């Protein structure tokens, strides 16, 4: 499984755009990149998933450069409620159990202040 | 759908006792995962099932842990005998296929005293 490296913590203010970068130098050809969010006392929640270039949904964007050795989760105009831990995961969905046999690292603790 | 349902939400037990955690996955999901979360080790995958069959239990810490999925709508994680170091939050998750979103339950906070 590709190992991921993320910043341990980040601070931001309400209304700002937050970019969290994840490094995955040994990503394999079939690996997808997935981001999850976790609030205290809750299970992780899926944010976004991508393979290459850019993916956007109603809550975030995911930027993946051509070499796929890193990825950046972009949260536009964060609010206090975005304070959470964000996990970057990499996995091959075509291996039995696949991309959802996910290995969670330590994640990035995002703190949003007024 | 009510999502992945876990019970109990909290469990306090004495060392040496048997503990059974329960999970009801989302209807129609063919994958089910059990995770454990602690401050020291983060989120660890313990075991996962595909169509009720255990596929990989390499994350199960030791023989005291066992998991079953007798049907598509129910799974259990059992610890016998329990030890204080088993104290953690245990999450169950389910998904359709191997790509896309995995849905997590609210977790069971286990305290072994």
Q: Which chain A residue is nearest to residue B4, measuring alpha carbons?
A: A43
- Asked if A83 and A75 count as a contact pair (C-beta separation under 8 A), the reply is no
Residue B56 to residue A46, Cβ atoms within 8 A: no
Q: Give the mean model confidence (pLDDT) for residues B48-77.
A: 94
Q: Give the mean model confidence (pLDDT) for residues A90-103.
A: 68
Question: Which residue bears the tokens 């159990």?
Answer: A97
Which of A25-29, B55-59, B109-113 shows the highest mean pLDDT? B109-113
Cα within 13 Å of Cα(A18), Cβ side: 26
Q: Which residue, among B35, B100, B103, would best test binding to A if mutated, counting the most A CBs under 10 Å from its CB?
A: B100
Q: pLDDT at position A2, please?
A: 63
Q: pLDDT at position B65, please?
A: 97
Q: Tokens standing for A77?
A: 């105009």
Of A28-32, B5-9, B46-50, give the lowest mean pLDDT range: A28-32
The phi and psi torsions of B105 (rounded to 5 degrees) equal -80, 180
Q: Which residue, among A32, A100, A101, A108, would best test binding to B if mutated, counting the most B CBs under 10 Å from its CB?
A: A100
Chain A residues inside the 8 Å CB shell of B104:
42-45
DSSP-assigned letters across all residues of B35-68: EEEETTTEEEEEEEEETTEEEE-TT--STTEEEE
Q: Which positions in chain B have a beta carbon within 8 angstroms of at least one beta carbon in chain A?
A: 4, 31, 33, 35, 42-45, 48, 50, 55-56, 91, 93, 95, 97-107
Per-residue pLDDT for B27 more than 60? Answer: yes
- Asked if A113 and A13 count as a contact pair (C-beta separation under 8 A), the reply is yes
CA distance B103 to chain A (A): 7
Give A31-78 pLDDT, tens digit per residue.
899 999 999 989 999 999 999 999 999 999 999 999 999 999 999 999
Q: pLDDT at position A96, please?
A: 59
Cβ-Cβ contacts under 8 Å between A and B: the total is 70
Q: Which residue, among A30, A97, A104, A106, would best test binding to B if mutated, counting the most B CBs under 10 Å from its CB?
A: A97
Q: pLDDT at position A100, please?
A: 59
Q: What is the DSSP letter of A31?
A: -
Helix (H) or strand (E) holding A83: none
């Amino acid at each position: 499984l590709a190992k991921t490296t993320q910043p341990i913590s980040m601070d931001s203010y309400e209304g700002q755009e937050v970019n969290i970068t994840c490094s995955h130098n040994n990503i394999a050809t079939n690996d997808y990149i997935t981001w999850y969010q976790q609030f205290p006392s809750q299970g992780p929640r899926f944010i976004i998933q991508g393979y290459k270039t850019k993916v956007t949904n109603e809550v975030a964007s995911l930027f993946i450069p051509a070499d796929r050795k890193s990825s950046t989760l972009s949260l536009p105009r964060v609010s206090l409620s975005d304070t959470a831990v964000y996990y970057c995961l990499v996995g091959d969905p075509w291996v039995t159990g696949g991309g959802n046999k996910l290995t969670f690292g330590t994640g990035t603790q995002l703190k949003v202040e007024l | 759908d009510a999502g992945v349902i876990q019970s109990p939400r909290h469990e306090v037990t004495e060392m040496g006792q048997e503990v059974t955690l329960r999970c009801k996955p989302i209807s129609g999901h063919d994958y089910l995962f059990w995770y454990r979360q602690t401050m020291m080790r983060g989120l660890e995958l313990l075991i996962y099932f595909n169509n009720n069959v255990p596929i990989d239990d390499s994350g199960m810490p030791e023989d005291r842990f066992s998991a079953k999925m007798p049907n598509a709508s129910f799974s259990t994680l059992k610890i016998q005998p329990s030890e204080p170091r088993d104290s953690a939050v245990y999450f169950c998750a389910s998904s359709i296929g191997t790509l896309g979103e995995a849905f997590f339950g609210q977790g069971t906070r286990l305290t072994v005293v």
